[in-house]
A and B are shown apart, each in its own frame.
Chain A
Amino acid sequence: MSTDAVVGPAARAQRGRAVAASATTSRHRIRRASRLGGSVVLNVVLYALAFACAFPFLWMLATALKPENNALTNQFFFGYHLTWSNFGQAWHFFPFGRYMVNSFIYSFGGVLVVLAASTTAGYAFARLDFPWRERLFSLYVATLLVPATVTVIPLFLLSRQLHIYNTYFGLIFPVSFSAFGTFFMRQFFRTLPEELRDSAKIDGASEWWIFVRVMLPLCRAGAAVLAVFTFIFYWGDFLWPLIVTQNQNLYTLNLGLSEFQSQYGGYWSYMMAGCVLTVLPAIILVISLQKYLVKGLAFSSFGGR
């Protein structure tokens, strides 16, 4: 294998510079050799780290495919009969199908409410002129400083008072009005030229027509990023569903898993099968939408858990 194949552009650039400088070539050769050795070590270390990072997922899957009486052995895909029956067994203990439907309702419902609330208000704050606009917006921004967990107890009491406790409505609405989405969408609408709206108005378009047909399509990318992040957040959310639901029929996958742990914690293969079901949609989403995620990440509110 030639050195270029391993080191690639770095070596080529290095060589180019070496020619340009035409200085002490022996020193360069030594440096290049040590750099080659270093880069091999670096690659090995990074891929080992990546394996360690992926290992919990692999272990989850390996255990989900183990016969239950082998669940606690340290075999890794080999030495045992791979079985898919654990998924059916998990289903037998708990209605995971129902939980999955609930998780999707919670996540998609959350995405819809967050998008509807954030795009409209974000647009108003960015492009409409009305009294108290900046003051109202400052109030929104100020609430970003309040950690979400702090409002969980009052939200619980509010949803009981509003008779939405233990309903899909109560699951979705109380946590869907953080100022973050509004703040996020406002940034996007502010990048659009002011003249767009003026010229549409001269053509006699109504405010809502302008918003739906002109502004919203131009902010598609922003709305998509917000949607993906909202989905991932709701898909993984645990504390709020834990508090606002009482009835198993409303449980999300996360609640089902936690309940499974407390009742049948010893059945690791079944439990890991449930985990695989929970993890898979999030992983698929992330891998297929990488591009959007990286763009929107900087904005996301769930940083660095």
Chain B
Amino acid sequence: MWLIDSSIGRKVVMSVTGAALILFLTFHMAMNCAALFSAEAYNAICEFLGANWYALVGTAGLAVLMVLHFVFAFWLTIQNRKARGNVRYAVSERPKSVEWASQNMLVLGIIVFVGLLVHFANFWSKMQLQELMDTQAIVNGVAVAPTDGAALIEYTFSQWYFVLIYTVWLAALWFHLSHGFWSMFQTIGWSGSKWQRRWQVIGNIYVTLVILGFLSVVYFYFFKSLC
């Protein structure tokens, strides 16, 4: 199977799973933005998804994509370190045209994953998981309905340390995606001397918009809690 046996094949797996995860992030961000306008609208989305079969299928699909992206990332990194040989350079300098993010994708990915665990504890464990177990989470001494996402947002981002953690998390994600976006087109071969630059610019704009979308909800609720 060439997707496993060849270096380009393994990279194609990274590229395609990465593309799917970026699409997911885009939808997630769009849904979050509903919370900027109306808590009811956001809760309606939570109810629509919840633990319904299609949401569960989607979650399982995402989990598979994540695991593939992860397993291949570690596999590729181990192979790449081995290919580098046993002796490291005593002096090495990063050329100007090399992005910092491109050489630290694994580290950034691990930060994103750790952030994801925090995110699961904050939301998923109190929403879809509760609905599956047919229970309700106790937040701040009060029982919260599994579909009352707006209340969880309000509670989570009224705490400054979560605002800080989410900011660091999203910043790491921005760096990860700023390289990942154009890189996935390069890997599947949809690139060239013109398109490489174009994808890089399109990617930077696109990724910045997605991350700003996420951040806007975090800070909107943080400042709301201060008022």
- Asked if A pairs with B, the answer is no
